[in-house]
Amino acid sequence: MIKTRMQHTDASPLEPPAAVLDALVRGSCHDPFAWLGPHGTPDGGVVVRAFLPSAERVELVERDGEAVLATLEPLRDSGLFAGRLARPAAYRLRIRWPGGATQETEDPYAFGLLLGDLDLYLIGEGRHQELGRCLGAQMMTIDGVDGVRFAVWAPNARRVSVVGDFNGWDGRRHPMRLRKPSGIWELFVPRLPAGTRYKYEILGAHGLLPLKADPLARQCEAPPQTASIVAAPDRYEWHDQAWMAARAQRQSVHAPMAVYEVHAGSWRRRWDPGHPSLSWDELAEQLIPYVADLGFTHIELLPVMAHPFGGSWGYQPLGLYAPHAPLGEPDGLRRFVDRAHQAGIGVLLDWVPAHFPTDAHGLARFDGTALYEHEDPREGFHQDWNTLIYNLGRREVHGFVLASALHWLEHYHIDGLRVDAVASMLYRDYSRKAGEWIPNRYGGRENLENVEFLRELNETVRQRCPGAITVAEESTAWPGVSRPVAEGGLGFNYKWNMGWMHDTLEYVRRDPIHRRHHHHELTFGLVYAFSENFVLPLSHDEVVHGKGSLIGKMPGDGWQRFANLRAYFAFMWAHPGKKLLFMGGELAQEREWNHDAQLDWPALADPRHAGIQQLIRDLNRLYAQEPALHAADCESYGFQWLIGDDAANSVYAWVRWGHGDARPVLAVCNFTPVPRHGYQVGCPCPGRWQVLLNTDSAFYGGSNTGNAGALETTPTPMHGQPHALTLTIPPLAVVWLRHEG
């Protein structure tokens, strides 16, 4: 533990040169380990220096006893204390502060190099996949001493210090060691407990920067406070082994996946203005049983990474390794995920690798330079969101962001990441006019560095996290988003079908009298439905910023609005693709979502709203129960049009097929308020077809028009099929039938 470097020569063996002493006092010393701590002298002794402004007395006490080895002398009232030992010895500092308080601690500057050469090499290469266990604040024991190892990347800083309550936020007290040429600064601070608040004080080329939160913090304060927190070691004992062993199958393209998208802070709230959000443990008690009862297979959480502004809903995070503090401590999130898995429910997280906010305590110009972001605003600034864009072409940044994905998947057992804003990552001219962007090295608009990052991300997740999935929120026609990297794709498991969402919502918000002129808005999605592995999203984006709620988009009188929504949901659940519904949609919530208020739970007292919720429950049950409705969600043979051209009546009909002997399911949709009696639909299979679902059922708030029980085909060729069914299609309704033979 004792260093053996020779002391620098000076007129006084205790006092450093005046320039060094001045630098220590001013907080500009670039290499504190050259002067602080123990240093060997030519005669075999040791000089010990400690910079402790305001201290009244400093003694060296033997490490494992009480004997005083030396009393350090104050030098020129500078705050620097120094003294001699006749020979090297393990010691601790006994410090008396004004008011009589005494502190005992080991000397941070008596410890040698902390990070290994392999760690530094992998960080520089952008290939350190356990960055969350390497950088940041790590509780550990070194040479038998408990404490916290701090490490941060700031290659262009002149000095970096860790500051906190433990040193009065005085950046002169704990300056760090620079590990050249990596740009990593490190320091071990003995005896710090979990829960300690801290930040980094950084002296840049042009002066002192605002105090910076730790980019690798694994815990942080709740806004508006901005400090990082020393997290306790991850020793959580998981109980989800059965889920983890089976999740690859449960998340495959052949499995039913119905996702309930949740903003954790506003699903349900307390009546306590000081602490309105439910904790992770409270959400585990309330949200998980609710989701299980409705039959959803997954919960997708809007970003839960630490973010300074609640109105960003987490999409402008600054803590890519820390859960958002108002919801509870990190183990609370682990308990939530564990409980979900034990209930048979997967947990997905939205994750934001594209950009970050400009808050002064965050990543922006972290060491006084454009470190995490691009220098040129044509590459580094998002005009739409007033955020900074990660420079993923820089290997250290590439590795920082990629390791964040692995952190959530591995240390929180998250089942998949929905990657936000992928379209903005793929194109250099995204939302930019001519002259506002810089072409790639070939003169094109594709962002080659980000494409490389996304491919490496997906390949790494596939290799390191068996069964975990990635989902792209991507709104363009970029080819092969959900195709394997080996086949030239980006390697995502799924892609959100944003076009389907926009087209179909545009259709259902039209007055039914005009729908005949827009018939293609419901059929167009089938032109490309199997070009990717799609998720059909009805996401939070469609119920904010003046867009109203889902029920608010529906035209007509009160009865028609609810009938429209019921028909739309059944159309969606019968359509190829996995399903996603944002919270509140299942309540037919009238008002637009507000992140500062809970869902409108009292609406369920109205039978119409309760009927929508019951319909979602039955849709999920049937979707999971009937292989024809999910097994070939992403394969063209699983879908067959029967009627796609009856624009005059706004009627659609198709068959869903499963694998092997799975019984086919027929969906018939009527998007007008006119009941269609005696309507004939061509049928590929003869015999009996059982009615599985009728959205006009009185159970859901409908008029109970339709067909009871089962129907028999007739040998009447129709719609290119050898048989036909004659049925009544209720107004503004969808009917599902299953072939019984």
Positions marked catalytic = 420, 473
CA quadruple 97, 103, 104, 107: dihedral sign = negative
Question: How many residues would you count in the chain?
Answer: 741
**Closest to 218 (Cα-Cα) out of 129, 315, 330:** 330
Distances in Å between the Cα of 531 and the Cα atoms of 248, 343, 458, 577 are 22, 33, 19, 11
CA-CA distance, 646 to 172, in Å (whole number)?
77
Dist CA 642 CA 338 (whole Å): 44
Instruction: Decide: 297 and 346 in contact? Cβ < 8 Å.
Output: yes
- Distance between CA atoms of residues 485 and 45, nearest Å: 62
Residue 410, H or E segment: helix 395-411
Residue 383: both structure tokens together = 């005009």
Tell me the pairing of strands 665-670 and 651-656.
antiparallel
Radius of gyration for the chain, computed over Cα atoms and rounded to the nearest angstrom: 31
Q: What are phi and psi of 481, to 5 degrees?
A: -60, -40
Nearest to 400 by CA among 410, 411, 392: 392
Token pair recorded at residue 685: 């299979």
- State both tokens at 690: 């059982």
- Give the count of beta carbons closer than 10 Å to the beta carbon of residue 450: 22
Contact 441, 448 (CB under 8 A): yes
What are the tokens at 37?
């701590």
> Phi-psi bin for 303: left (phi > 0), alpha (psi -120 to 50), beta?
beta
202 — phi, psi (to 5°)? -120, 130
Helix (H) or strand (E) holding 202, with range, is strand 197-204
Q: For strand 136-142 and strand 80-85, is the pairing parallel, antiparallel, or unpaired? A: unpaired
Is 682:724 a contact under the CB 8 Å cutoff? yes
Sheet with 145-153: list strands edge to edge. Answer: 136-142, 145-153, 184-190, 177-179
What is the b/e burial string over 175-205, where b = at least 16 CB atoms within 10 angstroms of the residue's CB? bbbbbeebbbbbbbbbebeeebbbbbbbbbe
Q: How many CA atoms lie within 13 A of 541 on its CB side?
A: 14
CA–CA gap between residue 78 and residue 50 (Å, rounded)? 11
Distance, CA of 85 to CA of 45 (rounded, Å)? 6
Buried b (16+ CB within 10 A) or exposed e, 487-500: eebbbbbbbbbbeb
Give the CA-trace dihedral at 130, 132, 135, 139, to 10 degrees: -110
Closest CA to 389 of 309, 449, 307, 303: 449
Contact by Cβ (8 Å): 354, 250: no
Task: Give the containing element (helix H, strand E) for 459.
Answer: helix 448-464
The C-alpha atoms of residue 184 and residue 123 are separated, in whole angstroms, by 9
Task: Map residue 677 onto helix, strand or coil.
Answer: strand
Environment class of residue 526 by beta-carbon count within 10 Å: exposed (0-12), middle (13-18) or buried (19+)?
Answer: middle
Secondary structure of the chain: what % helix, strand, coil (to 5)? 30, 25, 45
Residue recorded with tokens 């204390």: 81
